Amino acid sequence: MEIIKIAETNEDILKCRRAIQALRPSLSDAIYLTEVEKTLADNRQMIFIEENLEAAAVTIFETGYNLFRGKYIYIDDLSTLPEYRGKGYAGMLVDWVLDYAKKEGFDQVHLDSGVNEARTDAHRLYLNKRFQVASLHFVTQV
């Protein structure tokens, strides 16, 4: 069984680079470490499954509290490198977050996912993990 690790060092964060860039291709090598460090400093954690000295799959999640959600976790990023898909790694990471939420007394776990044909497998995973489509997410550029 694969072990899920918490990224605690720059070495760990760098192991996750390719998996994060698969989801966030605009995150170039030149800015990757700085941007991830800023993200993690804002109440977030990165967890990953390592294979062949790199992260085969990774997730970044934030924790917080607000009036609408109560004490919540929001999964910002969940990515598996293409060559490691189909091994159940994304599901293992989601299960880890859900177990952590229960253990730490969180009320809800949230995530958003883009809507297009390429996201079908991700949506199947979320529905199988008992996530519900609860809202539409609106955004505007300023």
How confident is the prediction along the chain (142 residues), in pLDDT tens digits per residue? 469 999 999 999 999 999 999 999 999 999 999 999 999 999 999 999 999 999 999 999 999 999 999 999 999 999 999 999 999 999 999 999 999 999 999 999 999 998 888 888 899 999 999 999 998 889 999 9
| Correct CATH for 4-128 of 3.90.420.10, 2.60.40.1250, 3.30.160.160, 3.40.630.30 | 3.40.630.30
3-state class of 100 per DSSP?
helix
Helix (H) or strand (E) holding 74: strand 70-80
Tell me the pTM.
Answer: 0.92
> Which residues are CB-neighbours of 82 under 8 A, at least 6 positions away?
22
